[in-house]
Amino acid sequence: MTTLTAYKKHLQEIGKLESAISLLHWDQRTYLPQKGLAARALVLGKLARIAFELLVSDKLGHYLEELETQDDLSLEEQASIRVVGKAYRRHKSIPPDIYEQFTIAQSRSESAWEQAKKTSDFELFRPHLQKMVDFSRQFAQLYGYETNPYDALLEEYEPGMTTEQLRSVIEPLRKKLVPFIKRLREEGTRPRTEILDGTFPIDKQEELSLRVLKAMGYDFSAGRLDTTVHPFTISTGPQDTRVTTRFIGDNLFSGISSTMHEGGHALYGQGIPPELHWSGLDGGASFGIHESQSRMWENMIGKQLPFLKFFQPILASVFPEFAHTRPETLYNALNTVTPSLIRIEADEVTYNLHIMLRFELEEQLINGRISITDLPEVWKDAMKRYLGVVPKDDAHGVLQDVHWSTGMFGYFPSYMLGNLYAAQIFAKVREEIPDLDEQIANGKLVVLLSWLRKQVHRFGKTYEPQELLQRITGERLNPSYFTRYITDKYSQIYKL
C-alpha cells in the first residue's frame, strides 16, 4: 500500500466516526428524549475522542511528513494534505483527555442552554458557559497566537482572518450603516406590513418550506427537513445533508426565510463532489463562505421581487388569503428596517450590527475583560449602543444564540463576512447571468444553483476563503459591494 493510499484510508476512518458523531448531534437537537441527554453526552465524548486520536496520531503525522515532500500529487491531493496538515498540527497541541472532557461538557452545556432559554434563566446556564470560556481560553493558549488569543479561535472558522483585520472591516462598515439606518427611519417612507399579519398553521408552513426547498434544487433523496429550537444544517456523511428550520404561528415568513437560509447551506453540502468526500476537503472553504451561500438564498433571492413573483401563486395555493396580494406588496412588507432584539429575525440592514456586538463581547470574554456573571447586563448595554433596543429578559438577550453553549467562540464574525462575501459574489452572478431576474421570476432557481455549483461548491476546501473569492470575483474581500447593495435596495424601497 502506497503512503497516499494509506493516508486516504486513514482519513476515511476519521470520516466514518465524524459521520456517526454528526448523526448523534442531529438527533440530540431534533428528537432525543430529555432523559437520554446524560448518556448521549458520554457517547459523544467517547466517539469524539477516538476520532480526535486518529486525527492527531503519529501515523497520520508520518503520512503527512512524507506526502508534503512529493511533487507528483493532484491539486486536490495537495490541498487535502495542506488542510489536514494544518488541522493535525493545530489539534496535536490538545491532549486527548482534555478534548474528551470538552466534548462531554459541550453536550451538557448545549442541553443546559436549551433549558435556560425556555425559562429565561441565565443562572442555569452560567456555570456551563464558564466552562466553555475556560476551555476556549485553554485551547487558544495551546494553539498559539501572536498578539490576541481570539485570533487562535477565529482561525478555526475563517482561515487567515485576524481580530485586527475584522476591526478594519467593522469600523468603516458601522460608520456607513448607522447613519443610513437613521436616514431610513427619519427621512424614509416605511412600507406597510399588515399584509403579513395573521395566524398560519404550522403544517401548512411546513408544506410551503418543502416546496421552496424543492424549487431551490435541494435533493430530498440526500437529505430531509425537520424542526428544532435553533435552525441548523448538518452533513452526516456523503449524500446526507439535513436541514432544520423553525416555524412561528404568527410569523409566516420567518419559517420560509429560515428554510431558505439553511437550504443555502445544504445546497453547498450537496454540491461537494464525490471525489472530495472524506478527504478533508468535503466542507466549505470557510464558515464565512458557507454563510455567503445561505444569506444569498435567504436575502438576495428570497426577499427580492423576482422570487416573490414566482412564489406568490404557490403561497396563495397554501394560504388563500394571499390570492390577491401583489408580489410588489410582499416585497415592500418583507423588507422593512427595524432594529430588533433577535439576530435571526433581523433585517439585512441591521443584521451586521448584531454580529459586531457579539464579536465585541466574545473577544472581551476570551481576553478576560468582562466576566460571565456580568454578561447579561453587558449584553443589554451593548444592544442599546448598537441597535437602540434593550431585551426584556435573557431569552431575548444573552441566551438567544446556541453558539457559545458549544464553545464556538470565533464563529460569529463569519455571519458578517458571509453577508459581505455574498454581495460580492452575487454582483458577479448578475454580471454573468444578465437575465437572472427573469429566470428566477419564471421559477428557474436552478440557474443560480448551477452557477454556484461551478464557481463555489465543487471546490470544497480546496482553496482558502480569500483565494476562492479572488478566483470567483477577481478581487479579495471588498465590503463596498455590500454597502452598495444595501443602499441601492433600501433607498428605493423607502423612497429616499
Summarize pLDDT for 381-401 with one digit per residue, the tens. 999 999 999 999 999 999 999
Other CB atoms closer than 10 Å to residue 70's CB: what's the count?
A: 12
The residues, any chain, with a CB within 8 Å of residue 320's CB and separated by 6 or more, are none
Per-residue pLDDT tens digits for 428-457? 999 999 999 999 999 999 999 999 999 999
Catalytic, 156? Answer no
> What's the mean per-residue pLDDT of the chain?
96
pLDDT over threshold 80, residue 242: yes
Write down the pLDDT at residue 415.
Answer: 95
Please report the pLDDT score of residue 345 as a whole number: 85
The predicted-structure confidence for 188-238, as pLDDT tens digits, reads as follows 999 999 999 999 999 999 999 999 999 999 999 999 999 998 899 999 999
Section 257-269 average pLDDT: 97
Q: What is the mean pLDDT of residues 401-409?
A: 96
What is the structure's pLDDT at 80? 98
- Residue range 5-32: average pLDDT? 97
CA–CA gap between residue 336 and residue 28 (Å, rounded):
35
Please state, in angstroms and rounded to a whole number, the distance separating the CA atoms of residues 182 and 5.
Answer: 60
pLDDT at 480: 95
**pLDDT confidence of residue 81:** 97
Q: pTM for this one? A: 0.94
pLDDT value at position 229? 85
Copy the grid coordinates of residue 75.
Answer: 491539486
What are 39-81's pLDDT values in tens digits? 999 999 999 999 999 999 999 999 999 999 998 999 999 999 9
The set of residues, in sequence order, having a beta carbon less than 8 Å from that of 230 and lying 6+ positions away, is 29, 246, 344, 401, 402
CATH number for the region 163-493 comes to 1.10.1370.30
Summarize pLDDT for 178-188 with one digit per residue, the tens: 999 999 999 99
CB 163 within 8 A of CB 145: no
Nearest to 148 by CA among 171, 164, 131: 164
**Which one of 262, 291, 360, 464 is the catalytic residue?**
262
The residues, ordered by sequence, that sit 6+ positions from 314 with a Cβ below 8 Å of its Cβ are 208, 211, 212
Indicate the helix (H) or strand (E) that contains 88: helix 75-91
pLDDT (0 to 100) of residue 10: 98
Task: Pinpoint the residues of the chain covered by CATH 1.10.1370.30.
Answer: 163-493
Name which of 386, 390, 378, 382 is nearest 352 in CA terms: 386
Whole-number pLDDT of residue 1: 75
